[in-house]
Structure 1
Amino acid sequence: MKIIHSFWSKPSLDKSIERFEDRKMGGWLDKKYNYMSWALSCLQFKKHYGFIELVTDNEGKKLFIDKLNLPYDSVRVELDIYNNYHPDLWAISKLHSYTLQNEPFLHVDGDVYIWKILDKVNNKPLIAQNEDIDFKYYTTVWNDIILNFEYIPTYMMSDYQREPSIHSCNAGIFGGSDVNFLKEFAFEAFEFLEKNKAHYDKVNLGSTVLIYEQYLFSCLARAKNKKVSFLFDSMTSSYDKITQFASIPNRRHYVHAVGNAKKKFVACENLANRLLFEYPDFYYNILALIEKNEI
């Protein structure tokens, strides 16, 4: 299955942006951990799948290819067309990458790392990391959107009325073999964002990713009677099961540094130490580039 990373530089690297601080440097405690995270994710997926594609913009190519020397097999410089979009809409890089695909794929976030092939979800029509069921922060964001956004697809409102305890998904890994539906979803998400553009200032725009990326996909899949397969059958809202580096790689084979995990010093140092252990050349290159103020 084709593996994809996507990186839009504006939300995390644009120094002129003062809003939504959590997206600066990908939400990590320090920029070095952000670079190390992308490196470890790329290298581990490359190791186990043999091929990984990067969808990015010009700044992303300069960073990942020209400076970090990450071994992407394909680089598609596509995302500069979104430079006029609000930087809090950071997941549009992922949506765009879905529209480019014509074969089964898995998009993986730059804070996801593996130590074996993801056999459980390979070649399934639709794939996500796990199902999010009745997490309170979804309800908070959804209520804000209902109150302030003008356009909400009928199938989303119907889904919520049928099941007010929101059933969504985490897209840390996301994709499948039903490429046509995945493209349809991406275009639906862009339409949702475009039709509500006049109301962005009324909501916490960074948090709406829960709705336009994850809940919208889940509602559309149910409306079309599409089955979604999950890598993990159950998960708490803290995601403790997948944020720990302990027991890697003997008992654990998957880590996703989701949410507040990036803010924990121990997790950051575990990430750095894992990159140092497995790929020392990339570790020291990152430190040297930072020392020389080149990244």
Structure 2
Amino acid sequence: MSDRSIQKFKEYVQKLNPIDDIIFRKMAENREFCEEILRTFLQDYQLKVLNNKSQYAITNIERRSVILDAYCELRDGRRVNIEVQNADNVNHQKRVRYYSSVLTTSLMKKGESFDNVPEVCMIYICNFDIFKENKSSYLIKRVIDGSNREVDNGLKEIYISANINDGTTLSELMGVFTKDDCYSDNFPVTSKMKYDFKYVKEGNKMTDAMKELYDIFKEDFDQEVLEKSKNKWIKEGRKEGVINTLLMLVKDGIISVEDAAKRANISVSTFQKYLNEKM
């Protein structure tokens, strides 16, 4: 791998943050990272993560399958799905509804009592204010109309606006998630992992963390095209830049068509059409 390729890749990575899927998927492999952010999201500072999985696939042969950005099993039995979303171009609430249904179904055995349906928490991190009420966090509750009595069926939905700064600890964490050179002593695991992925201290070598990111791409991947696509994504928010990058990843056999379609927030058939046009 040439020094020029390393430099271009470093420049590309330095534009990324935990809100970006490629960084989040690697960080979510770390149990301590998941534990640190969940303690803030759920306001439970004794929370303990027993198991965590990044890019957790739940396959359904006859129906639409899903890939969860991060899946965690907590000590108290709760199951948590964390999703990161940069683009505001899908029906987010219905996506959360579907993901929670597929996850719940996958956790139940045939004939098992409904009493054993696990508590599931869906945490949806958006780089925009999903409900446009200028809040950093939205907890969705089920209430009886007229009495406002809350009823709990074991499903919790939390939507987080990463772009809203209201002075809370959550906003501080979201600053680390979204701002290039923002770090916090209150979130040492998140801050250190982010820094390790983005920078090297000396020389022109990549850190081990950077190498893990680079392994997602093949060595012969055209870094210049990747950088241009990413710049379009970041600066202009254009779907074309994202799709072009994903098409290259699929062609190189790095991710599947299904995974690429999910990341582009389009159907598999639509993504396949893009792919056929480029072949």
Which TM-score band applies after superposition, normalised by the shorter structure?
under 0.3
Q: TM-score, normalised by structure 2?
A: 0.26
Higher relative contact order (CA 8 A, sep 6+): 1
Q: TM-score, normalised by structure 1?
A: 0.25
Q: Highest Rg: 1 or 2?
A: 2
Identify the structure with the greater helix proportion.
Answer: 1
